[in-house]
Chain A
Amino acid sequence: MKFLISMHINPAVLDALTDAERAAIGEGHGRFIEELKASGELITTQALADPSQAAVVSVRGGQPVVTDGPFLEAKEYLGGFYLVDCEDKQRAIELAAQIPDAAIEGLGIEVRQVMFADGQLEA
């Protein structure tokens, strides 16, 4: 089963971290990626650039309208994600709990199953 584990980041929370704490997060992700690769559960992971660089695109009257992002006016934004293929939702949650962000107040980790045309749940 495939799951998207998305990381919701709050810049204010990140700014308040010490250098050591930030380094520990980086190492934690590095370790997590290596373990996921070795177990054959990682499909891909990506980290996104700062939301101040985002563009919101809409089409009005057939013409594209581009405004500076982000789309959602929120304290948290999508910082990146892991796309994994694992045994079941329980395992996906277990994996999500290993992401260092999960241990930090104000940072969010969300687990959602990927919908496939053939991803029927096992009875």
Chain B
Amino acid sequence: MTSPGDEDLLRELTPQVLGTLVRRYGRFEGCEDAVQEAVLAASVQWPDEGVPDNPRGWLVTVASRRLVDQMRSDHARRERESATATEVVPEDVPDTDDTLLLLFLCCHPTLTAASQTALTLRAVGGLTTAEIARAFLVPEATMAARISRAKQRIKAAGSSFALPEGAEREERLRVVLHVLYLIFNEGYTASSGSELHRADLAREAIRLARMVHAQLPEDAEVTGLLALMLLTHARRDARTTATGDLIPLDEQDRAKWDRGLIDEGTELIKTSLAGPALGPYQLQAAIAATHADAATAGETNWAQVHALYLILERIAPNPMVTLNRAIALAETEGPQAGLTLLSTLDDDARMAGHHRLPAVRAHLLEKTGDTAGAYEHYRLAAKATASIAERRYLESRAARLKM
């Protein structure tokens, strides 16, 4: 077993080593496989033989050898000799950080979100295929096939190893941020048996977001996303009971919130809001910071939360935002105002069958004193969710009204 320290080091070095190889040899697919093998070799050898003096150089050398072996056997298969394939790998390693370039490649727009997340975790996050498969609860063979298909697609798209320019760069960066957000969510929404591994995904997403932030400290949305993750992750220990039951925000023990993460996230979002740009991640982080700022649920500045949702709704219209605004509106103007806003979502096809609409409606109906209506909608919501923890929570809310 590798020690946590070695593992962190390996994860940190993975994108650097991969970047070096891709710069040297091109062919991202082959390099990525070779780096994965080198990382696996390190995780076996380092605990026994100790971490080498130059771990990055060690990994580059081992990965290069694997790649050259692979190239050689490819050549042999084609019954051709190649002088370049037998060249000795130079030991000098250029000191560039290609994390961003790799992220752009892994989050290539021709890939599905599932493939983008898997490839990002492997090529940039340095996780093994087995670890990624465990995190997403699929067999390793399924994940291996998905990653290999993703790399074929990138190759077919003829992607170059260079940062895109101008508007394309902006667009591609949004995709990268979305993928990091998805990885975070996958970990954050975890509960029950698989909790341990999936909580690691949230941490991994934060680590990757920190890497991007280090490269692009001036980008307001990168800062916003990192702040959002930190502020959300800060509530991790307070949002479930020991048995994995969900605890809603207003009932959480705020003493269990991680003040360190909250302070860091709040500082980040303050800085980024002072800039000229304003994006959805910043606004969501600002909302999370507003909640974090309240010592008790009763002291929440709902007017501010509502105002932020209103801006978010304007710059990034989405029924889920309207739904969240309805919750804030109910707090400032009463449950009936919230219900009226909710009714504008009834015909929205994007919300059809989604459990959150009946769940919020039930919550607001309960506040108006319509117990029967609230019961009915909690039950509807419980049937519509695909999460066992959510279902248990919604059923318990319904059961409470029955008594």
Complex CA gap A105/B288 in Å reads: 53
User: Is the CB–CB distance between A40 and B149 below 8 Å?
Assistant: yes
Stretch at the interface among B63-71, B133-141, B231-239: B133-141
CB of A87 closer than 8 Å to a CB of B: yes
User: Is the CB–CB distance between B387 and A115 below 8 Å?
Assistant: yes
CB of B164 closer than 8 Å to a CB of A: no
Secondary structure class of chain B's binding surface, majority of residues? helix
Complex CA gap A10/B112 in Å reads: 36
Asked whether A121 and B192 contact (CB < 8 A) given A86-B114, A115-B388, the answer is no
User: Is the CB–CB distance between A120 and B145 below 8 Å?
Assistant: no
CB of B146 closer than 8 Å to a CB of A: yes
Asked whether A41 and B385 contact (CB < 8 A) given A87-B112, A121-B354, the answer is no
User: What 1/0 flags go to B249-284 for Cβ under 8 Å of A?
Assistant: 000000000000000000000000000000000000
- How near does chain B come to A70, taking the closest CB pair, in angstroms? 27
Complex CA gap A25/B137 in Å reads: 30
Complex CA gap A1/B240 in Å reads: 23
With a cutoff of 8 Å between Cβ atoms, the chain B residues found around residue A37 in the complex are 141, 145
Q: Which of B173-202 contact A (CB under 8 A)?
A: 182, 185-186, 189-194, 198
- How near does chain A come to B136, taking the closest CB pair, in angstroms? 7
User: Is the CB–CB distance between A42 and B142 below 8 Å?
Assistant: yes
User: Is the CB–CB distance between A118 and B194 below 8 Å?
Assistant: yes
User: Is the CB–CB distance between A116 and B182 below 8 Å?
Assistant: no
With a cutoff of 8 Å between Cβ atoms, the chain B residues found around residue A39 in the complex are 145-146, 149
- How near does chain A come to B360, taking the closest CB pair, in angstroms? 12
A: contact size bracket = 20 to 34
Give the residue name and chain of the A residue nearest to B355 (CB): A121
With a cutoff of 8 Å between Cβ atoms, the chain B residues found around residue A1 in the complex are 386
User: Is the CB–CB distance between A121 and B386 below 8 Å?
Assistant: yes
With a cutoff of 8 Å between Cβ atoms, the chain B residues found around residue A40 in the complex are 115, 118, 142-150
Asked whether A117 and B388 contact (CB < 8 A) given A41-B146, A42-B142, the answer is yes
Give the residue name and chain of the B residue nearest to A86 (CB): B114
CB of A74 closer than 8 Å to a CB of B: no
User: Is the CB–CB distance between B390 and A120 below 8 Å?
Assistant: yes
Give the residue name and chain of the A residue nearest to B324 (CB): A123
- How near does chain B come to A30, taking the closest CB pair, in angstroms? 17
Complex CA gap A113/B137 in Å reads: 14
User: Is the CB–CB distance between A122 and B142 below 8 Å?
Assistant: no
Give the residue name and chain of the B residue nearest to A87 (CB): B112
With a cutoff of 8 Å between Cβ atoms, the chain A residues found around residue B136 in the complex are 85
Complex CA gap A119/B142 in Å reads: 18
CB of A38 closer than 8 Å to a CB of B: yes
Complex CA gap A38/B136 in Å reads: 18
User: Is the CB–CB distance between B137 and A38 below 8 Å?
Assistant: no
User: Is the CB–CB distance between B144 and A118 below 8 Å?
Assistant: no
Complex CA gap A70/B85 in Å reads: 63
CB of A23 closer than 8 Å to a CB of B: no
Complex CA gap A116/B147 in Å reads: 23
Complex CA gap A65/B182 in Å reads: 48
Complex CA gap A114/B386 in Å reads: 7
Complex CA gap A49/B208 in Å reads: 48
CB of B130 closer than 8 Å to a CB of A: no
A1, A87, A121, A122: most-surrounded residue (chain B CB, <10 A): A121
Complex CA gap A44/B143 in Å reads: 13
CB of B113 closer than 8 Å to a CB of A: yes
CB of B40 closer than 8 Å to a CB of A: no
- How near does chain A come to B74, taking the closest CB pair, in angstroms? 20
- How near does chain A come to B355, taking the closest CB pair, in angstroms? 7
- How near does chain A come to B142, taking the closest CB pair, in angstroms? 5
CB of B345 closer than 8 Å to a CB of A: no
With a cutoff of 8 Å between Cβ atoms, the chain A residues found around residue B186 in the complex are 118
A39, A119, A120: most-surrounded residue (chain B CB, <10 A): A120
Asked whether A118 and B142 contact (CB < 8 A) given A39-B149, A40-B147, A86-B114, the answer is no
Give the residue name and chain of the B residue nearest to A84 (CB): B142
CB of A43 closer than 8 Å to a CB of B: yes
CB of B320 closer than 8 Å to a CB of A: yes
Asked whether A118 and B389 contact (CB < 8 A) given A39-B145, A39-B149, A123-B320, the answer is yes
List 14 interface pairs A-B (beta carbons < 8 Å), by A numbering.
A38-B149, A40-B149, A42-B145, A44-B139, A117-B387, A118-B186, A118-B191, A118-B387, A118-B389, A119-B388, A121-B385, A121-B386, A122-B182, A123-B318
4 A-B pairs besides A118-B186, A118-B389 with CB distance below 8 A are A1-B386, A40-B143, A115-B391, A119-B387
Q: Nearest 3 CB-CB pairs, A to B?
A: A40-B146, A117-B192, A40-B145
B residues whose Cβ falls under 8 Å from a Cβ of A:
112-115, 118, 136-139, 141-150, 182, 185-186, 189-194, 198, 244, 318, 320, 354-356, 385-391
